[in-house]
């Protein structure tokens, strides 16, 4: 059996399970008080299913990355350079992030300085990566127009 057929079968099984959980969540969300426990049960099952898929995907990715590095050790240098640049950009975002507390108009603290720093770092890091991606898109478009 070809790998593509196996992947199609696995995708079909995952889709059927996802549809099952979708129907369970959709039919139990009528707002009736007795349905709250059924809805919580359906949502808990769906969350467990997605967690399992997330962990399996992470394991598969790690295995294939390690196998690729073992097969092609020359790629390791490029990978480590890319990872180093990625980490350096993260530290730049961390240095630029503000750490002020988030306070409402009633002077209630909604987020402390630690959480504010983490969120700001994530937003700035995403913006930096977005600018880099957009710049790469523009450079690639200009190169293709010149050719």
Could you report the per-residue pLDDT of 3-32, keeping only the tens digit for each?
778 878 888 888 888 888 777 777 765 555
Cα distance between residue 76 and residue 67, in whole Å: 11
Which are the contacts of 28, defined by CB distance < 8 A and separation ≥ 6? Answer: 35, 38, 39, 41, 42
Same domain, 130 and 83: yes
pLDDT band at 133 (very low <50, low <70, confident <90, very high): very high
Could you report the per-residue pLDDT of 60-97, keeping only the tens digit for each?
888 988 888 888 888 888 888 988 999 999 999 999 98
Nearest to 87 by CA among 117, 130, 129, 136: 129
Domain encompassing residue 98: 74-147
The residue with tokens 């394991």 is: 59
The distance from CA 100 to its chain's CA centroid, rounded to whole angstroms, is: 26
Same domain, 66 and 120: no
pTM of the predicted model over 0.75: no
CB count in 10 Å sphere of residue 137: 10
Same domain, 114 and 57: no
Same domain, 66 and 99: no
Tally of domains within the chain: 2
The distance from CA 3 to its chain's CA centroid, rounded to whole angstroms, is: 26
Of residues 100 and 92, which shows the higher confidence score?
A: 92
3-state helix/strand/coil string of 28-57: CCCCCCCHHHHHHHHHHHHHHHHHHHHHHH
Q: For residue 107, give the DSSP letter.
A: S
Same domain, 60 and 128: no
Task: Using CB atoms within 10 Å of the CB of residue 38, give its burial: 0 to 12 exposed, 13 to 18 middle, 19+ buried.
Answer: middle
Could you report the per-residue pLDDT of 105-128, keeping only the tens digit for each?
676 666 677 778 888 899 999 999
Per DSSP, what are the bridge partners of residue 56?
none
């Amino acid at each position: 059996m070809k790998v593509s057929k196996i992947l199609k079968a696995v995708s079909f099984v995952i889709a059927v399970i996802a549809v099952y959980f979708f129907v369970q969540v959709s039919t139990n969300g009528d707002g009736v008080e007795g349905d709250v426990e059924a809805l919580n049960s359906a949502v808990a099952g769906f969350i467990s299913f997605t967690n399992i898929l997330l962990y399996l995907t992470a394991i598969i990715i790690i295995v294939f990355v390690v196998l690729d590095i073992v097969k092609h050790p020359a790629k390791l240098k490029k990978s480590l350079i890319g990872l180093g640049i990625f980490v350096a950009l993260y530290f730049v975002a961390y240095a630029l992030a503000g750490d002020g507390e988030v306070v409402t108009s009633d002077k209630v603290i909604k987020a402390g300085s630690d959480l504010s720093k983490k969120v700001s770092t994530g937003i700035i890091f995403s913006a930096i990566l977005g600018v880099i991606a957009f710049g790469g898109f523009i450079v690639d478009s200009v190169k293709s127009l010149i050719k």
